[in-house]
Amino acid sequence: MQTLPSSGTFLAKAAERDSPGVLLFPPLIPLAMLAVGVVLQWLAPLGWSTHLGAWGFGCGLLLALGGLVVALLGVKALRRRGTNVRPMLPTLAIATDGIFAWTRNPMYVGGIALSVGIALTLGLDWALLLHPFGCVLLHYGVVLREERYLTGKFGDEYRRYQATVRRYL
């Protein structure tokens, strides 16, 4: 005799199918670049960004603040639209207004800008060197998977949005 899965297991499996299947929780990527950068800076400091002095500090601070604002505007737009913010959960609607009218990925653009700004402000040369690898991981492990998922779920509506708004900047 075959038993049916419990309702909790069934709902979990259904939710798992309705997600983009991203490799990592996206905020972990820039955070990891910073954390590894701090460790490498401590073990083998390069000293490049210390030559930037007050300019590096100021530019880093502005970049970090700008990135934070962009990311928070993205969160606000998704919540206003009534969809999930976390990419592991099902997308309920496509946000196309506010910051999403300028970039399809404001939280990722903002998160990377925030972490690069922090690296500049704190003089973390290694973190600056690691960020391109984090951007590649974010692009292939998160963004492209989300785009396939959204195209499959929303079809032409999402394709029209893709055609009018840039992926990043």
What does the pLDDT look like over 39-86, one tens digit per residue? 999 999 887 776 678 888 999 999 999 999 999 999 999 999 999 999
What burial class does residue 139 get, using C-beta atoms within 10 Å of its C-beta: 0-12 exposed, 13-18 middle, 19+ buried? middle
Both tokens assigned to 151: 């195209």
What does the pLDDT look like over 78-135, one tens digit per residue? 999 999 999 989 999 999 999 999 999 999 999 999 999 999 999 999 999 999 999 9
| Residue reference for tokens 């299947």 | 21
Task: Report the C-alpha gap between 141 and 145 in whole angstroms.
Answer: 7
